[in-house]
Structures are given as structure tokens and as C-alpha cells.
Amino acid sequence: QVLLFVIPTQLQSVTHQALHRLFHTRSCLFVVLHILLEAAVYGEYTWEVFVYCWELQFHLLLLLLPYLLLAGNVGCFLLCSRADPGIITKSNHASVVKVYAYDGVLFQKGILCPTCNMEKPARSKHCSFCGVCVQRVDHHCVWLNNCIGARNARYFLLYLCTLTAMAAAITTISAALLRHLVLLSGMLRGTYLDEQGHEQPVEIFFLVQHLFLTFPRIVFMLGFVILLTLVLGAYSCFHLYLALTNQTSNEWCKSRRSHQQTLQPHDRQVVYKNIYSRGVWMNLKEIFKPPTLLERKKK
């Protein structure tokens, strides 16, 4: 009976450790996937879209815009993924803990990080992927294989903006190419025979089907980058909102939970007040020039 009890316990422990290593360790898997997706999109853009547009005498600067955005995006990617996000160590803990005040709601004084065995500074969080506490932590980005914190938030915001602009530029150029080809072919003025043998004017569904059969890779890529533009655009707007209001994703989620859990009499919710916001301009300045203890003392 003792053996039957011990073996399942050991199996549970081994399984838990394996899952912990799988989901709570830094991995380059998503970085590689990210690079492959960009390579596939730019390969198709270069191989077909650029060539067709060049033959149709599209402006060269317009055709080169996605490559210029790619160069800027790669630069932001390298800076954001390799930069120190604001790792809190025993040597800098005393100064970091004084940069931001505790708001008493989301961040309480005297709470220890059980892993790092240090008091958590306000606006900090322990990252289970990196195994460290990070100052003004936003989230751990698997696509960059790094935490987003006080020291690299500016690079992450620029990375998101350039990535969205890349997708939007390729979407615009590819859509303009297909529109140009449709107009040149005069297909909009044509007709086709339906299943009953009746002559019908060309409709959108027939047009899309024809384009997909004629230029399948361009149409498939266009659908992908349109979806990517919408998703990245929404995500970029959300992070721009966080930057303008001096919040992080971590704080935004915690404040939403605080609204739901803390209630006043007569079911009135407690309104959380963000004490870190100091106006749009100063909030943006804090993103691009993270405050230090010395700067805080001067104010």
C-alpha cells in the first residue's frame, strides 16, 4: 500500500517538473516561427508582388517601403529581445524599490518574492519564464523571448508599430496590384454563365474566385496580412493606450480584477485610481526615458 501511494506521487512530481520545464522556460521556438512567417510573407512579396508592380510601373519608393519598415522592425526586434528589461538584483534592489511608490491596492509594501527572496518593488513582478523579478513589468513576450519591462518598453512599442506598418504596407500594395490587374483585364464589364446557362454580370464572389485561381499565393498572402494588420493594429492601439495612461498589461489586468472583487455597500464598485499617470506627455517620456531614483528625487 505504501508503494502504491509513493509511485503515483512520484509520477505526479515528475509530470509537474516536466510541464514546468516546458511552459516556464525561455524557448526560441516562437522566435523561429516569427522569422519563418516574415520570411514567407516577404518571399512572396518579392517573388510576385514586387515583380508585377514593377512591370506595371508602380512608384519605386512605395515598393521599397515594406523593406524599409522591415529594417526598422528587425532593429527594434534585436534591441527589445537583447536588452535588459529591468532585472531586479540584490545590488540594485535598494534603489529600484524607491523609484515608484506603493499604491496600496495593486502593490502592497512588504510582500516578498518567494523565488528571489526579496521585497517586491512597486510595479514589479516575478517572471517564471526568465526566473527573475522585473521592474515595471508588462508581460513576457514569447515572440521576442524576453520580458517587456521598464528598460525595453520603448523598443517593444516601436517594434509593434513597425510590425503593424509592415503588414499594412504589404496589404495596401498587394490589394492595389490586384485592383490594377482587374481594371486592366476589363473583367468588371464582363459576364459569365451560371449553372443554369444564364448569362450573369461579374460579381464580387466570382471575381475573388477568379483571382484566387489565377494568383493563389498573392490572394492567400493578402488574406493573411489583412488579418495580421487588424490583429496587430488592435494590439498596438491597446499598448499605445497603456503608454499614454502610464499602465502596463499586468497592471491593467490586475485593476480589472480589483474592480470585480472589491465592492462597496449597495453594490457600488471601488474606482481604482492610477497614481502613476502624470499626463500624456510625461507618460510617453517615461516610456522612452525610464525614471531613475535620482530623477525622482529632483521632482
Task: Report residue 285's pLDDT band, with 50, 70 and 90 as the boundaries.
Answer: very high
* Mean of pLDDT values over 248-261: 81
Reply yes or no on whether the pLDDT at 246 is more than 80: yes
Task: Report residue 22's pLDDT band, with 50, 70 and 90 as the boundaries.
Answer: very low
pLDDT at 211: 84
Reply yes or no on whether the pLDDT at 297 is more than 90: no
Of 9-23, 99-113, 263-277, least confident by mean pLDDT is 9-23
More confident residue, 209 or 157: 157
Of 37-41, 115-119, 198-202, 203-207, least confident by mean pLDDT is 198-202
pLDDT at 7: 44
Domain assignments of the chain as residue spans, ordered by start: 10-295
pLDDT at 1: 44
Task: Report residue 209's pLDDT band, with 50, 70 and 90 as the boundaries.
Answer: confident
Task: Report residue 272's pLDDT band, with 50, 70 and 90 as the boundaries.
Answer: confident
Q: Provide the percentage of residues in the chain whose pLDDT is more than 90.
A: 66
Let me know if 171 is exposed, middle or buried by CB neighbors in 10 A (0-12, 13-18, 19+). buried
Task: Pick the catalytic residue from 80, 133, 141, 161.
Answer: 141
More confident residue, 195 or 167: 167
96, 88 Cβ separation under 8 angstroms: yes
* Mean of pLDDT values over 238-265: 82
Cβ partners under 8 Å of residue 116, min gap 6 = 88, 126, 132, 133
Mean per-residue pLDDT of the chain: 85
pLDDT at 204: 73
Reply yes or no on whether the pLDDT at 129 is more than 60: yes
pLDDT at 291: 82
Active site (annotated) includes residue 237:
no
* Mean of pLDDT values over 171-194: 81
Distance separating alpha carbons of residues 81 and 101, to the nearest angstrom:
28
The pTM assigned to this predicted structure is 0.83
Instruction: List, for residues 59-108, the tens digit of each pLDDT value.
Output: 999 999 999 999 999 999 999 999 999 999 999 999 999 999 998 889 99
* Mean of pLDDT values over 22-45: 86
Residue-wise over 91-115: b if at least 16 C-beta within 10 A, else e?
Answer: eebeebbebbebbeebbeeeeebee
47, 75 Cβ separation under 8 angstroms: no
Compute and round to an integer the Cα radius of gyration of the chain: 26
* Mean of pLDDT values over 7-35: 64
